[in-house]
Amino acid sequence: MSYIQRLTVPVTTAADGSATVFSDRATGKITTIRYVKDGTNGFADGSTMTVTAEATGESIWTESNVNASATRAPRQATHSAAGAAALYASGGVGVNDKIAIANDRVKIVITSGGNAKTGTFFIVLE
């Protein structure tokens, strides 16, 4: 039986505009990540967001020059048992799938966010 879980991660930057925060531990496939910019004290325009799995370092979402709230549905490339890229057809487009985490935390790193600025990340897993 599957279920949907949402992790809420508030973030406040330091004086140099940086922040590193972690979600609670979770297990599942990441469906979406929603960044909500605070309406009065949001991260500075041009912020960089790097989201990874803590234990493995797998990239989940990396984006520069973020200026507004955003929703992303991150996916990763899939491969055959032999390690070859999985394609929809011979020479076709790569097959992507949701990124799974197992008893892991999501690590969120902000740079160029401004002094003591805030935002919230909502991570939805199934």
CA distance 51 to 89: 31
CA distance 43 to 103: 29
* Pair of tokens at residue 45: 């325009």
* Pair of tokens at residue 125: 């897993």
What is the domain-level CATH number for residue 112?
Answer: 2.60.120
Residue 90 scores a pLDDT above 70:
yes
Indicate the pTM of the whole model.
0.92
CA distance 30 to 27: 9
* Pair of tokens at residue 14: 């330091």
Q: Is the CB of residue 124 less than 8 Å from the CB of residue 35?
A: no
Count: domains in the chain: 1
Residue 35's domain spans which residues?
5-125
Lowest mean pLDDT among 50-54, 86-90, 97-101: 86-90
